[in-house]
Amino acid sequence: MSQSILLVVACVLVDADRRVLIAQRPPGGSMGGLWEFPGGKVEPGETPEAALIRELEEELGVSTKTACLAPLSFASHSYEKFHLLMPVYVCRKWQGTPEPREHTALKWVRPQALRDYPMPPADEPLIAALCDLL
Ligand SMILES: Nc1nc2c([nH]c(=O)n2[C@@H]2O[C@H](COP(=O)(O)OP(=O)(O)OP(=O)(O)O)[C@@H](O)[C@H]2O)c(=O)[nH]1
């Protein structure tokens, strides 16, 4: 069966202690309770970078710019209803303090500790890339 591709962009915020920010999805909804990287769907006509800057503002209340977004890796994963294609960026410079505007909780964790937090299956291969980088 053919599947449509869903383009979602995600960001790994990295702090001065090399910890990364994860955000817990609200309970009940799709993948409820799982921990993810902030981000969301790229809207028609939007660049991935513009989408990410918009999502970081909406979800966390932080602002950043394209020059502060460095490509890290991507996820490509078939879910039941769509195939997720998710470019993942690293950001080390932003303004504001992240607050959970759409998530249940936020947490700064060391990359090696990401395995202790249940994440969407698409994210699991990203953990090794983060451990290598940080
Ligand atoms: N932001 C984000 N989304 C992810 C990650 N991993 C992953 O599989 N996804 C999936 O990518 C999609 C992101 O869509 P989204 O956050 O804009 O939308 P949503 O499902 O929360 O709700 P919506 O459809 O009502 O906007 C979801 O299906 C989400 O589960 C991740 O690390 N970060």
One pLDDT digit (tens) per residue for the chain, 134 residues: 678 999 999 999 999 999 999 999 999 988 999 999 999 999 999 999 999 999 999 999 999 999 999 999 999 999 999 999 999 999 999 999 999 999 999 999 999 999 999 999 999 999 999 999 88
Q: What is the pTM of this model?
A: 0.95
Give the Å distance between the CA of 73 and the centre of ligand 1: 17
Calpha distance 44→36 (Å, rounded): 23
Looking up residue 90, the CATH number of its domain turns out to be 3.90.79.10
Which domain, by its residues, includes 76?
A: 5-133
Number of domains in the chain: 1
Query: Is there an atom of ligand 1 within 6 Å of 20 CB?
Result: no
User: In this predicted complex, what is the ipTM?
Assistant: 0.94
* Helix, strand, coil percent values for the chain (each to nearest 5): 25, 35, 40
Say how many C-beta atoms besides its own lie within 10 A of residue 116's C-beta.
Answer: 9
